[in-house]
Structure 1
């Protein structure tokens, strides 16, 4: 017997969102995750990391910033308020995924995973403030935000596909190559946090402890990993063409090339121009786009069938069945009444 006191159950009885609405709600969480990364960077680049001197209050005596704290207090407090906006978007996604029939537990679990990552990162951000912007904790704070972005991209993808067992659209070595690209890009992101922790933008005008490594050397290592990511991307592009992979992942690799090209230009400009704040902020923005592109490519190389049709809905149009990835392989056949991708 359904639980009449369950608010999600009550909403589901009165509202049946479309599959398109659930996908848009998932995309909104991706956009907000990017916004949080960029605004968090703005806090550091404007030296507002300690704009609020404590946590969870802004000052020991005030929940909100005071006039004496100036613009830095407003920037730091504004970034804290954006956490509530992000939670609202995640809440809409959870409610929409829960209300839609048939119920897909995989989507609601991803939504709750996003929520708990946000809650954990909020507490972690408080610890960052209480420890005076410890660079190692700041780096972990950014990586937790990257984890949120990863889960939101996965939810966005899952909202556009079914719940069948994953079926590779290319051979296993090609999937492994895309997985290697994900790992290399993840390592590049981690190195970026080390560069930030050792670089001049400490997040506050006062003397803040930095990671004790040579900033120029760690930056060079970061650049070396950029070349690795570029090389793997080029290799993946030619491999996908060689095995006649579906058009979607090949197009996504081209999008990745565009993001990498823009990021490369921004990277060299910020290095030779002395790290101007606005350029560093753009670098952070495009880094999130690169990560999104890499994740989408990897997820696009497998298929989980069509989105389950809700009440009064029909399955979408059949997608093109990809050509076999290997010589002599048999083209996969779509299940009866379902579309294949």
Structure 2
């Protein structure tokens, strides 16, 4: 990509990425088309992130990797807002789940109260996706929207981000976790992936060395994000994903098309909780003692606040590219 002679090249010489973003926003995109053209901005921002990096993006030891692990003020503010929104109905779900025959308890890895037969699960939230970038950009520009509504202001309903993939920052976040996995004394002997693109990409990067060891990577419909209305959470056809990710076993997906997503309905907390519970039932019947799971913020928040009995320290919102390792025990009434 040759940018010599382009105004962006002069700005690069100033090493001012914020100026680049401002230049694109104010000079290239008119106010009348900013909502739709923000996708173009997101693409250019990601290209610029590569353009500005002097190190190989595949090297997790670079300064860019350190930047990938950080979260901006806009990202943290948006996470706080969305976490509160996702908590609506959570207490009712938790109370209802106490009536189910399977009780799931989560413990920290160093918790002496964990039973001897507890399994270890490394829960991972995907790295930054293009939908996350779009929301951060919109939020930093002062745009406001109502969550889970099909309105022009909502960046999560833009058709350009159906089943949003990872950004370069998202890949770097996953590579940082890859280095964590390499240092694990006990590695997963099963990896479960949400069938959404960004989660698959993240899981394949984070647990990459396990592929060479022949560890199974399974896509599981029950692990996908709370879905509906937001097209970033709609999955692509199974047949297309099988071609793109031949390393992954998609046999657990019963339909080629996404039959859960609806344009006019967001899953209720009870519906999401039902999927999480089904996954826990499935997991409780497996023989593996160490498992990796790559999923999403809303789903993971439901695991620790709506399904599991656990300490408060485990209940917080997962940031992009975060891993939380716990012990799970399954108790049947």
Choose 1 or 2 for highest CA Rg.
Answer: 1
State TM-score, norm by structure 2.
0.30
State TM-score, norm by structure 1.
0.29
Normalized per residue, the structure richer in strand is: 2
Normalized per residue, the structure richer in helix is: 1
Larger relative CO (CA 8 A, sep 6+): 1 or 2? 2
